[in-house]
Structure 1
Amino acid sequence: MLDYDGDTHLYLQIAAILRGRVAELDSGHPVPSEADIQSEFGVARTTARRAIHVLREEGLIYTVQGEGTFVGAPDAAPREPRKVPLYRQIAQDLQEKIEAGELAPRRPIPAENTLQQQYDVARETVRRAMALLREEGWIYTVQARGSYVSPEESWPRD
């Protein structure tokens, strides 16, 4: 239980709780995401990020961009590398929804926050997926409005 009124910062309290959990896990085991920590402890994303940073600085965990955070050191962890980076998986899922008609042309695609929560990833991972879809012609972005499915004639052809 967190002591919101105590003299110890919340991120340090969360780091202490996570430190105990991590000690019971094998090297290479995934650690809860920032979003999971944020949800579990009812704190801001910055607080969750700072707690993870403490454990990373202590050498208890490591992060692989686009894949997650894991117990141990990167060179000692027997984890299976992803076959497809998460941002590519998100882009592929959205592309399939567009092709299937679940996301209609000139209609908005789900917001960044929605995709972050749905896939339990960082904002940058979602932005990389969106950039890929934009580059390929599946979506376009209107400043201050959001991203939309491109008209069908703009879709890439095989």
Structure 2
Amino acid sequence: MKISVIRTAGVIVGLGAILGGCASTPWPRSRAQIETPATPCQDFQVQIYFDRDSAEIPREGRSVLASAQAMAKGCQVKAVQVVGLADAVGAPGANLDLSRRRGDAVRKALGKAGFKQVVLDVTAAGEAGATTAMGAVQPLRRRADIRIEMGPWPRR
């Protein structure tokens, strides 16, 4: 009889210590204390790379635009800047034209991706900046740089 009472007392003391440890951490008083706040809408930049002498957006580029749309979901897109670029291979006039066509292709693709009611600023840099001060050609200039400026929706 004494052995079972001692065992029972030991179990009660052990449970009391466990429950006492739980009681020392406060329970959330509201749902807001357990919900994690949404990430604020932040500006971001993406790049789309093109094949040589091409202004057609490749499959990877369309995937980048789909990801950009997902990142902007739930946020107000205030403005989008697109800069079409070209490498230093070829005539400067042809490179400027190619970078313009790349920027225009991205503008159209952004509209299809859901960026329809957005101020779009599309510029072309051609081969400007495609070579270093020492004259070396910069690699991977066959792209369009896209900067998306976002913010939260205004409260009503």
Common fold by TM > 0.5: no
TM-score (normalised: structure 2): 0.28
User: Does 1 or 2 have the higher relative contact order (CA < 8 Å, sep 6+)?
Assistant: 2
TM-score (normalised: structure 1): 0.27
More strand by share: 2
- Structure index of larger Rg: 2
More helix by share: 1
